[in-house]
Chains A and B, each alone.
Chain A
Amino acid sequence: MRLKSTTGAVLAAAALLATGACVSEDTNEASSDSALSGSGTGADCTIDETVKIGAVFSLTEAAAFAGTYQQEGLALGFEELNAAGGITYEVIQEDDKTSVEDSVAAFGKLIDRDEVSAIVGPTLSNMAFTTYTDAESAGVPALGVSTTAEGIPEMGDYIFRASLPEEVALAASIPAAKEALGLTKVAVLYDNADEFTTSAANTIKDVLNDENIEIVAEETFETADTDFAAQLTSVLEAEPDAVILSALPGATVPLVKQARNLGIEAPIVGGNAFNSPVLVGALEDASEGLIVGGAWSAASDTTGNAEFIANYTEKYGRAPDQFAAQAYTAAYLLDQAIRADCDANREAIKDNLGQILEYDSILGPISIDEGGEVTQEPVVQIVHDGAFTLL
């Protein structure tokens, strides 16, 4: 009797699941629009209907330092592509206000109401972990440009990123710093309340271990902390050759300033979050000697980099940073994926985004595999006289 009722429940659940699967299948089918597939291929591709691309960035609150650059970089990229002709893009920009709830709402609006072909963003990995489940179940390709935490591309077939993982950036900057500075013992300082910085800290420790560099101090802080005197005192007492820092930009500025004020003169090595002229500007003299691993450098001579910097600076009145460069690249990657089959439907973008091989971008040759992960060469820079130079 009991067995029977259980079987019944299982059957009912299975039936429900099957209906659910059908419904989501239907949504995918319904979103396929023949007007979004054009004629010709590659550079000759022409699509009559305007291709709508959603963008979700943190334009206000804590992560606005990144989101505003991303918005500008992406807009510049699509502007250039529109001028080139063949396909007309319309970017529908949403602000997630650096909050998970708002980013979920923004994804919902772009997916259901605006029916965009693909979404670029969000700015923070924390939000990607939530919003990407929605994009995946709705069958909308999502391309992250700064979502560097571990495990994001693995979230589904529709999830991609053109953002160099922090692990890769750090794995390049630590050996480079070791070679340049002869490091033997370092202090590791990280924000243990943030997923991105914690996963980076784990990588840092692995890389240090591989490089036979001793960790003489390991200190943590929380994202909202403002006073780091206690941690920095422990670092100072350990007398490291360098300090490896994994922090969000919000904490980086006061932390580096306080470190220098307390008399820590050792070089400070960091990852993606350091790679911003704003940070260097805010740190003023304290920025000297920072070593930064990242995806892009103003000093690189990659294809189109000089034009990108010139156009961006002219249009927005400020120099671009890595966030702007990655978002700009995302516009070109989406264009590549759409032009491959001359089809701007969600399925086609998904299929082709995972096939991009050695595309020659301002970040250097960049590839995206079927799993959604990016491959590119990281750059390592050091700050000299307030400017980034390649190490």
Chain B
Amino acid sequence: MLQQLANGVFAGSIYALFAIGFTLVFGVLRHLNLAHPAVFTAGAFIGIEVAARTAIPIWILFPVVALFGALAGVLVERIAFRPLRGRDDEHFAGLISSVALGGVVIALLQARYGTDPQHFAADYFPNRLFEVAGVRVTLTQLVTLGLALVLMLGLAWLVSATSLGRSMRAVAENPTAAKVLGVNVGRVTAGTYALSSALGTVAGALLALNLGQAGRDLGASIELVGFAVIILGGLGSLWGAMAAGVVLGVAEALTIHLFDSTWKSMVAFALLFAVLVLRPRGLFGHVKVREV
């Protein structure tokens, strides 16, 4: 049982990492970036290729992947969202154009890597097994959890205590007012996308490391759960996404342990449904006065 809880926490930390990247963009810019799962998948493939080509150690690999991710994020904003800015249907059109861009990214991945799944070389990150208080954890799982925690706390600190974070919060509150007050909205927008995609690509590479391989459907496999995490935690809430990721991961692991894998998705979405009915703004969402 304890082992299943641990499994859930590890799986949940990746859900959370996927979800906070997505929810960050929504929280600050009100954009639903549906290219995020494709960027996540790209992160896994890029991580695998960089590891195979350069054999750099893992603590350098993730910053490199994040760099690619940041670049991808800036491109996603430029291509899928900026051209639509100021239109009446800006949000809806952006949602559709990001779906399209996601499709393009997946097609590009297929062109470069083919249809076969890619994987890290077995000796790239030798796996060690630890036993802590009767719970078996692998080194990969520890790295995943540690990195996820560092990134999530780092993001929370960045948003609350740095000048970029202050600008982001200002834009989130009221973009026009922020502009009047001298905030460079264009730069904040690009920065938000860069951060979001950097988190997404790192999450993708981490998942690939955990699973042993990555296929083009890696993002699609986590997409729905990721969205459930975001709604569960409250759209736009960073802390909510982190908590909900773990809640959902644990719920899934326990469902498989106690019942059957067939019930896994049902439990995830029943949780989602219950939260939508009982707490429409999610576990951590709060009523925004501004919109009234």
Contacts and interface: CB of A to CB of B under 8 A. Distances in A.
Contacts of B261: 192, 219-222, 225, 231
Interface stretch (B91-99, B182-190, B206-214): B206-214
A250 B221 contact: no
Contacts of B218: 226
B226 interface: no
Interface stretch (B115-123, B163-171, B275-283): B115-123
Interface in A185-238: 192-193, 219-222, 224-227, 229-231, 233-234, 236-237
B19 to A, nearest CB: 16
Contacts of A250: 117, 215
Contacts of B217: 224
A175 to B, nearest CB: 28
Contact of A258 (B8, B119, B211): B211
B253 A229 contact: yes
A58 B8 CA distance: 35
Interface in B248-287: 252-253, 256-257, 260-262, 264
Interface string B95-112: 000000000000000000
Given A233-B4, A263-B129, A227 B117 contact: no
User: Interface size class for chain B?
Assistant: 20 to 34
Interface string B1-12: 001100110110
A308 to B, nearest CB: 24
Contacts of A222: 261-262, 264
B85 interface: no
B211 A254 contact: yes
B140 interface: yes
Interface stretch (A43-51, A279-287, A335-343): A279-287
A60 interface: yes
Nearest to A253: B213
A253 B127 contact: no
B138 A261 contact: yes
A89 B11 CA distance: 53
A178 interface: no
Contacts of B140: 261
Interface of A: 60-61, 64-65, 192-193, 219-222, 224-227, 229-231, 233-234, 236-237, 250, 253-254, 257-258, 261-263, 282, 284-286
Given A192-B261, A231-B261, A233-B257, 11 more contacts: A61-B115, A64-B115, A219-B256, A229-B11, A231-B256, A236-B136, A253-B119, A261-B212, A262-B136, A282-B119, A284-B122
15 contacts: A219-B256, A220-B262, A221-B261, A224-B221, A230-B7, A230-B253, A230-B257, A233-B257, A253-B117, A253-B212, A253-B213, A258-B211, A284-B121, A284-B122, A286-B122
A-B pairs, top 6 by smallest CB distance, nearest first, are A257-B212, A230-B256, A284-B122, A229-B7, A230-B253, A254-B212
